[in-house]
Amino acid sequence: MLAVAAPKNDPREAALGNFLLTALGLGARGRWSERKYLLFELLVQYGVECLVIDDAHDLSMPHLIFLKELTDQLQLAFPSQTPLGLCLVAAGRGAAIPLKDVFDQPETMWMQFRRRLDHVHPYCRIASHTEGEVRDILLALEQIYRPSFPALNLQQWTGSIYTWLTHPLLDPQKSGRVIMDHLMKLVMTALQWSYLRGERDVNPKYLEAAAEALTLRRDTIHLIDAGEGNEDTNDRKEGPSSESNPK
């Protein structure tokens, strides 16, 4: 499996191709017209069975056409090989399916592209996290940050974190699911504040303050004043003071 993020603000097919070559350990020097076919060979040489493109909503039309050409050429040149799989991971909102309007176009190229989609589940939506999954993520974060926090025990706060992050402001559809971005913002903010205070474990006071920042104070506007910059900078670095009692 080879995974890259879609290029941003660069619609050329070479931009996506360079990302793939870099992921395979090659630089981006030389003519793209020559390195393009080297990419085909390397995908076979490394035994790549699936390409995963994250942020696929940023793919341009040349990017999509290049991906179709890439899968076509590999299937023609190596018919005995398993067809190269392609997984496009895109961010969406509401009921709209990203890129579906492109694939639904009547041109032959897009009709052929649609034939590559999974026959049973061509479009899938990844649900946000349940409370049990939040616990698993917190366990993984414990292992990652244990060198900096020898006594780190995030799992014990699973219930509180889940409750905070299913607040109506963060879960307006009342799905009972937690968005990964909200979870990481809450935990990382609390860990940063705890680290600056020399804590061996995350301080629950900072978890609660970070949750409050995501909900009750999410629209608070901070005044940046050059005359009082030092005080404001210290507040941002250290978070709530030791005397504060967040609710």
> For residue 102, which amino acid is it?
V
pLDDT score of 177:
93
Cα distance between residue 181 and residue 185, in whole Å:
6
138/98 same-domain check: no
105/193 same-domain check: no
141/187 same-domain check: yes
Residue 235 has pLDDT above 60, yes or no: no
Region 93-101: mean pLDDT is: 80
Chain-centroid distance, C-alpha 2 = 16
Residue 124 in any domain: the answer is: no
Confidence of residue 37 (pLDDT cuts 50, 70, 90): confident
Residue 120 in any domain: the answer is: no
58/110 same-domain check: yes
Among 243, 246, 145, CA closest to 200: 145
Which of 82, 115, 148 finishes a domain?
Answer: 115
33/81 same-domain check: yes
Residue 244 in any domain: the answer is: no
Residue 125 in any domain: the answer is: no
pTM above 0.75, yes or no: no
101/143 same-domain check: no
Residue 246 in any domain: the answer is: no
Residue 122 in any domain: the answer is: no
C-alpha distances out from residue 138 to 129, 134, 179, 231, Å: 12, 6, 14, 33
Residue 170 in any domain: the answer is: yes
226/136 same-domain check: yes
15/47 same-domain check: yes
Tell which wins on pLDDT, 158 or 112. 158
Share in percent of the chain as helix, strand, coil (round to 5): 50, 5, 45
Confidence of residue 243 (pLDDT cuts 50, 70, 90): very low
Residue 6: DSSP 8-state: P
138/232 same-domain check: yes
Residue 155: DSSP 8-state: G
* Number of domains into which the chain is organized: 2
User: By residue range, what is the domain housing residue 234?
Assistant: 131-238
8/91 same-domain check: yes
Among 2, 121, 88, 115, CA closest to 50: 2
Residue 126 in any domain: the answer is: no
